[in-house]
Amino acid sequence: MIIILKPHASKEEAQKLLQQIEQKGLKPLYMPGVERTVIGAIGDERVLQSLHLDSHPLVDQIKPILSSYKLVSRELYPIDTRVKVGRHAVGGETFTVIAGPCAVESQQQLDGIADYLTTHAVAGIRGGAYKPRSSPYSFQGLGEEGLKILKATSDRTGLPTISEVVDANDAPLMAQYVDCLQIGARNMQNFRLLEAVGKLDKPVLLKRGMSATIEELLLAAEYIVNAGNPNVILCERGIRTFETATRNTLDLNAVAYLKQKTHLPVLVDPSHGTGVRELVIPLARAAAAVGADGIIVETHTNPAEALSDGHQNLDPQQFDDLMSSLKPFVEAAGRRL
């Protein structure tokens, strides 16, 4: 519920109301504005009846938040949230490009990739140290060794790092090494994992589950924010449909819809979204055109030898082509690279 206070309501009076809301077991939110103070009450609104807010002398208007998700809703916070990953703000005027291999394979591999990424306007380097693979026989990632490699590359180049956390128990350890924690598609509804990253002071890149509705994605984000971490970046990475020509179907509807419904930044992953190297550039441009806040792309110095997802990785030349061909689309969408 959104409670808009009358212009003359003082900070102390607002605090009193917030306390009453908290005593009723709801989450109180204080949002002072230039002209009006707005208060949020998140939880079972029926228990607020005894406060008679509709006839309260300080209350101007009460509006219910109609969506099932509240904290991530634009109804509650109309202004775009910017999430800092290292020094870079995701969701600002700059179109964010995060790139890197599917998996961290060695120090030499990651350094080679980082060296060409730093010649471009890249906001961060990605790379999985813990890989959620469909087959138990596939490369599972280097674990903590991979985190150390990420940290060393970041220390040398200044690139912030993004890496996937697959187990709630690993989350605090990962937070010591990387700048942004990724929740993968397969874990989008691992609610204990969402709560674990919600307790950490690190931004979270939350990928949409391959069979998850947009509402489920937003409710997953709500878990993280409700646990105390407001720094969530959403990522559309393609969904499963009847189509088999591509690995997934990149749902660009979702991007436009999310930008209307939530204040959180939205990235697009055209690598997993298509699973086809040749389609990454066109879909990256489409992501910029539809209003995404950025992209996360897989790239490798030698995709043919990549230990995972090589077929959808761009090589350095293709990554150059991506960056130059993206520019006019980003600028047409009113942003810069």
Q: Provide the binding-site residues for Mn ion, judged by CB under 5 A.
A: 102, 309
Kindly tell me the sign of the dihedral angle through the C-alpha atoms of 262, 267, 271, 274: positive
Which among 278, 213, 206, 299 is positioned nearest to 251, based on CA atoms? 213
Give the span between the Cα atoms of 222 and 258, in whole angstroms.
Answer: 14
Q: Which range in 9-17, 136-144, 178-186, 311-319 contacts ligand PEP by CB under 6 A?
A: 178-186
Q: 247 and 298 in contact (C-beta within 8 Å)?
A: no
List Cβ neighbours of 335 (8 Å cut-off, separation of 6 or more). 93, 94, 95, 288
Tokens for 104, please give them: 């961290």
Site string for ligand PEP, 190-229 (x = CB under 6 A): -----------------x----------------------
Q: Which range in 54-62, 184-192, 220-228, 253-261 contacts ligand PEP by CB under 6 A?
A: 184-192
Beta strands in the chain (DSSP E): 2-5, 27-32, 37-42, 59-63, 83-85, 88-90, 96-100, 124-126, 161-164, 180-183, 204-207, 232-236, 266-268, 294-298
Residues 14-73 that bind ligand PEP (CB under 6 A): none
259 sits near ligand PEP (criterion: CB under 6 A): no
Min dist CB 302 to Mn ion, Å, is 16
For ligand PEP, the closer CB: 22 or 305: 305
Closest residue to Mn ion: CB criterion: 102
247 sits near ligand PEP (criterion: CB under 6 A): no
185 sits near ligand PEP (criterion: CB under 6 A): yes
Q: Single out the residue of 28, 100, 124, 128 in contact with ligand PEP (rule: CB under 6 A).
A: 128
Sites of contact with ligand PEP (CB under 6 A): 102, 128, 132, 184-186, 207, 237, 269, 272
